[in-house]
Every structure is written in C-alpha cells, then in structure tokens.
Amino acid sequence: MHTVVVGTSGVTASDVLAVARGGARIELADEAVAALAAAREIVDALAAEPEPVYGVSTGFGALASRHISPELRAQLQRNIVRSHAAGMGPRVEREVVRALMFLRLKTVCSGHTGVRPEVARTMADILNAGITPVVHEYGSLGCSGDLAPLSHCALTLMGEGDAEGPDGTVRPAGELLAEYGIAPVELREKEGLALLNGTDGMLGMLVMALADLDTLYKSADVTAALSLEALLGTDKVLAPELHAIRPHPGQSASAANMLAVLKGSELTGHHQDGAPRVQDAYSVRCAPQVAGAGRDTLAHARLVAERELAAAVDNPLVLPDGRVESNGNFHGAPVAYVLDFLAIAAADLGSIAERRTDRLLDKNRSHGLPPFLADDAGVDSGLMIAQYTQAALVSEMKRLAVPASVDSIPSSAMQEDHVSMGWSAARKLRTAVDNLTRIVAIELYAATRAIELREGLAPAPASRAVIDAVRAAGVQGPGPDRFLSPDLEAADAFVRGGRVVTAVEPVTGPLL
C-alpha cells in the first residue's frame, strides 16, 4: 500500500488524494517528531510561568481574559473539544473527513502548534486503522477555521463520540479505538485548541474538487468537440494562431484539445443542403473561450491550494524563538474565494454545454438532425426530457454559483465578528461538481447519438473511439423511445470515472 510521509514543510495535493480517496498509510518523518517535541518544550515552559499565555493558560475566544489554574487545564482542553463538537445535519462524506484529519495532522507536524508527538502519532494511527469520525454538514463558519468539524475529529481522538469503522458501521469511537489497540489521548495545555483551529475541511474539499474538475474540463472539451462535429460545425475557429492572438493559456489548451479530437473528421465544415454557414453559434464557436477561462480559474485555485498545503494554520502559533503569538491565519478567506470562483466557472461551463445540447435537439438549428434526435418524432419524444433534466441541473448550478464568501455572520459575542463561510463554499462546490458531471454526461449522450444519426460521413477517429467506449459501457445508441434514466446514469458513471479522457487519449495523445 502507498505510504505518505508527513514532515514539517507541508504536503502535496497528491498526498491528500492518496489518503482521502486511496486509503494510503501515513508515517511521521523523524524531522516532524523532533519539531513536535521542540515546540512542546516551549509550551510546557510557558505553562509553568505565572503570567497567562493565550491558548496555553487562558480561556478561548471571547473568554480569553480568564487565567486558568494548572489543575483545570486538562479539563479545559476536554471541554473545548466537547463543546465545539456541535455539528448538526447529514454526515459528511468519508473522503472529506479523512482529508480534514490528514490536513490537521499536516499542520500539527509543522512544529508550530505545540502538540506532543504522541498526539500526532495517534492521529496517524486512527487514519491508518480506517476509523472515520462522524462529522456533520453544519457547524463551520470558516473562522476560526472549521471548528465544529475538526472538533468532531478531536472527539474521536479522545475516545468519545461516534465514528465509522472500516466496515462502514458507525459505533462509539472508544470501542473502535480499543478494537485497534489505540489508546485515547488525554489532552494537555494548548492541544485541544490546536486540534480545532484550521482551514482543513475547506482545503481538503478544494483539493478534491480541483482533481475532479481537471478531468471534467478535459471531458467537456471532448463533448464540445463531438457536438461541433454533430452540428457540422467548422473547426477553423480552433486554429492555434487565432488563440495565440488572445494569449490566455486555458483557452489555447481547450482549443488544442478540441482540434485533436476532431482531426480526420468528415463531418466538420459540411452544411445542410450545401447552404454556406458563415459562423457557428456562440455555444459552439466560443467553447474554448468559456472552458479556457474556467481552466485559468483552476490554475489560480491550484496556486492558492499549494500555498495553503505548505502553511501551518493555528492560533496561537509557536515560533522557533520561543514566542507563542496570537494571529489570524485561521481565517478562511483565501480558500473561500477560490471555492466560490470555481463554482462560478463550473456553472458557466454547464450552461454552455446545455446550450449545445438544446441545439442538437432543435430541428430548426441542428442542420438536418431529426427533432429531439427521436427515432419517429411525434411517436417518440427522443431526448426531449433529457434536456429538461440538464436544464434543471444548470439552473441549480446558477444558484450554487452565488458566492458564500461575501457573507459573514458575527459569532462568539462579537469576538469573531467577520467570518469566511469557506466551509459553506466548499460544500456547495461539491454539489456543483456533481451536477456538472451529469450535465457533461447528458451532452455526451446527445452528441454521440447525433453523430451516429449522420449517415454517409465518418466521424473523427477520436470521436469514434469515444462512441465505441460509451456503447461498450452500456449506454445505448439511437432507436425508439425506452426507459431513459438508466442510459443517463450509465453516461454519468462513464464521465465520473474519467473514461471520456481515457477513451480518447490513445488516439489524440495526452489532452492538455
């Protein structure tokens, strides 16, 4: 099994995906253990001083002015975890919780939190055992980080609350820890607070969304090319010299992908009844510009994620010179913004894909295709309602594109008077990515059927490869009306599994 070694300098996106989705094992680097021990010595020394130090010998948030006596500090750390584990609503997905825990462990191992090495080892042991704390949908305002979700994870570390075992059964966390020989942690000064202050949930969801969207944007380039081909459009607008004049890298990459898919097509540039067409509609002609802008948004979001993956997010932070300083690094704004940006870009990509699907189905604009791609229009409805489904998804995508990060609601007696709502931005982005997958799948379904209805002209070899792969996956081709939902679900699974890209790349070479 793949092993991820956590050191002091952060982790990579591939590390997060390996742990969250691939079940990779975790090991702590020697440098991380040494950094943990060194930072803990600083915290222990400050804990012994008569002067109060925030997070070490005081209360928290709006209660930070109270000095806590030594005999109450262990209780304080337990209490902050118990009281902050106040989430409600549906359970969050297992991969999100694993990413959340792993990224908190990443920050702990930086040596800037003051957590003991044994706490970090226990966090790694829980992940390696496949134990997943029960975390709920609602509770995080994205400042101070993802408090409630991280608190539910810390509760499991203490042997309290509920968790899911590797078999998928939810049980008391204490029972699961005992079954795997993991001793619950008794938290000491600073440790409860250090386990809760971070952007780890929203960052984990950002990393996974970036991976999913990278594949989806390539898939959308392919489906856009198939729609162009089915509509007898021209590929001249994809010429690299045109895109070099407007040098947005995402646009050039998207156009290159489409051009690679269309190479060798007998369908492009032909017109119904020999009537010349000066220009294709915007949804066809401007596909690289829209998808390309989304790709450039992905690139910016990836840069933000890389910086956050290298960061140590906690409050207070332990510095190498022995200071323990309060700060605002836990604020989720940098991550929240790009989560919202991605939802906007995804909504627009879904919108232009739906417009191409609608054009394929409209006999007045499809250049000779039957109405709704039906076998016997009037008797058969064809893909009429598939487009309704796609339109409903696009409508929801537009609602999901409303930014969460422009909202703020004061909390903690006005101490936390401006919050990021980054967790909410991440949660709606996950829904947006799911919906975009379905939208692309419906365009794929319509475009492949439309190409097969064009008799006498051969599609591009890459298009043929996609059509063959889709049919082999159980997505049926043209014919009389049938129960449509299973076909659409099969197309969704095809896109969701990245199989559009794997089908086309043996012909085109790697897509950009």
Residue showing tokens 């250049």: 367
3-state DSSP call for residue 382?
Answer: coil
54 is catalytic: yes
State the Cα–Cα distance between residues 76 and 68, nearest whole angstrom: 8
Are 342 and 298 in contact by the 8 Å Cβ rule? The answer is yes
Identify residue 382 by its one-letter amino acid code. Answer: G
3-state DSSP call for residue 511?
Answer: coil
Are 478 and 452 in contact by the 8 Å Cβ rule? The answer is yes
What residues have CB less than 8 Å from 458, skipping those under 6 apart?
A: 265, 266, 267, 464
Q: How far is CA 83 from CA 29, 158, 161, 184, 193, in A?
A: 33, 13, 12, 18, 12
Q: What are phi and psi of 335, to 5 degrees?
A: -75, -40
Question: H/E element holding 392?
Answer: helix 384-400
Residue showing tokens 């198939």: 226
Which residues are 69's β-sheet partners? none
DSSP character string of 16-31: HHHHHTT--EEEE-HH
Tokens of 393: 């998804």
Question: H/E element holding 228?
Answer: helix 200-230
Pairing of β 25-28 and β 3-6: parallel
Are 126 and 26 in contact by the 8 Å Cβ rule? The answer is no
- CA within 13 Å, CB half, 56: 25
State the Cα–Cα distance between residues 356 and 363, nearest whole angstrom: 13
Tokens of 248: 């947005």
Name the active-site residue from 54, 138, 180, 388.
Answer: 54
Catalytic residue numbers, as ranges? 54
